[in-house]
Amino acid sequence: MKRSVLKFGGSSVADFMKIKEIAGYLKSRIEQDEQLIVVVSAMGKTTDDLLASVSHLTADPNDMDLAMLLNTGEQQTISFLSLALNDMNVRAKPLTGYQAGIETTGKHLKSKISSIKTDFLEELFDSHDLLIVAGFQGFNKAGELTTLGRGGSDTTAVAIASALDCPCEIYTDVTGVFSTDPRIFPEAKRWEKISFEEMMEMSALGAGVLETRSVELANNHNIPLYLGKTLSKEKGTWIVPNDQMLERKAVTGVALDKEMAHVTITYPLETKTFLTDLFIKLEEAEINIDMISQIQNQDGLQLSFTFKESEERELNQLFDALKESYTNLYVKIETTYCKLSVIGAGMRDMTGVASKIFKTLLASDIPFYQVTTSEISVSYVVDEQNGEKATRLLCQAFNL
């Protein structure tokens, strides 16, 4: 019997009509002799509403309490979906993260999955056609409820698919993976297939379709991943192992990340422990950074990196703490930049990509402040106001 994990995001289950439609679709899949595990997020804006309501009670919410509160969002969706399915005579069973045995480690609101009770899930399939698992949530060793942080429901879905060794289909309101954001460049192409490697770069660089950790997890376990539009007949995109890509284009896509910010730190040459201290503290605070580069000039050493705009407060707290030990630190945070990335698994075999990018930006007088490269991507920090224009120019230049 074929088995798949399907994930539906918050906008796909935003109201009762949509939940009923999804239940109908799931029933049609079950009738084709499939076994399904369905992962759902909280309905529509539920999570945001819950977070907003907390401000009535405290300005500095406790992580453990917040995780417990947010858990109720997905628990409501799984109950509603199960009610709809059981009404259609599908033998469905809803499971919270705790019940599905999704054990996590790390901070309450940024947990990572450490194990899943697959034996229990297998056992449930003896008497059920379909299991509904609450996305985004788990529990830690102390038995406390946790959430997986950003993009958490995708991670839940891919982790379950990995544990059960079956394909994973992620449904959102986007039809698949495009060469760039169609809202910026309407002529953008949708790929039928893309390699894990490219998808990881696309995600990491802010394409926003799927969080990097989900793609990484699917890649590590060799789980076929599908991205499609909820209840749409249009074909989506399959993300496949790198060696299954027969034909390669030099450049697959252009990703624009506006949610990033940029920091430059200047510090004297003689403060040898600074870098180590900084990176230990970044790890402790679980702040993800990117595009790290360092140069030495007449002022001393200068370190730049990008980070998520949403983590600015935490980063500032971190620098305040560091300044107590390193008094000669000079920190400049810039939030009006954005990150533009050109991605392509074929890039490493080809030449001319970087020079074409430079020429394109130069021809339109778009300045850039930092450049970093990976095996299959080149990233630029440019002014936020130039981001969309540069994206369109590069898509045209590379015929995407």
The least CB distance from residue 16 to a second copy, in Å, is 4
Find out whether 144 is annotated in a ligand binding site.
no
Find out whether 47 is annotated in a ligand binding site.
yes
Find out whether 139 is annotated in a ligand binding site.
no
Nearer to a second copy (CB atom), residue 122 or residue 192: 122
Nearer to a second copy (CB atom), residue 90 or residue 223: 90
Find out whether 277 is annotated in a ligand binding site.
no
Nearer to a second copy (CB atom), residue 76 or residue 374: 76
Which residue, 347, 319, 343, is CA-closest to 332? 319
Residue listed under structure tokens 């749409």: 232
* Spatial separation of the C-alpha atoms in residues 45 and 12, rounded to whole Å: 11
The least CB distance from residue 56 to a second copy, in Å, is 4
The least CB distance from residue 69 to a second copy, in Å, is 4
Binding site for a second copy (CB under 8 A): 16-17, 19-20, 50, 53-54, 56-62, 64-66, 68-69, 71-72, 75-76, 78-80, 82-84, 86-87, 93-94, 96, 98-99, 143-145
* Spatial separation of the C-alpha atoms in residues 171 and 263, rounded to whole Å: 35
Q: Record the tokens describing residue 374, joined without a space.
A: 């990976």
* Spatial separation of the C-alpha atoms in residues 255 and 66, rounded to whole Å: 32
Determine the residue type at 265. Answer: I
Q: Which residues pair with 103 in a beta bridge?
A: 115, 139
Find out whether 172 is annotated in a ligand binding site.
yes
**How many CB atoms sit inside 10 A of residue 247's CB?**
6
Find out whether 183 is annotated in a ligand binding site.
yes
**Residues whose CB falls within 8 Å of the CB of residue 202, separated by 6 or more in sequence, listed in order:** 177, 194, 209, 252, 253, 255, 343
* Spatial separation of the C-alpha atoms in residues 250 and 264, rounded to whole Å: 32
Find out whether 392 is annotated in a ligand binding site.
no
The least CB distance from residue 209 to a second copy, in Å, is 30
The least CB distance from residue 94 to a second copy, in Å, is 6
C-alpha torsion 56→58→63→69, nearest 10: -20
C-alpha torsion 318→324→326→332, nearest 10: 50
Nearer to a second copy (CB atom), residue 96 or residue 306: 96
Nearer to a second copy (CB atom), residue 8 or residue 98: 98
Q: Which residues are annotated as a binding site for substrate?
A: 47, 74
Q: Which residues are annotated as a binding site for ATP?
A: 7-10, 172-173, 183
Q: Which residues are annotated as a binding site?
A: 7-10, 47, 74, 172-173, 183
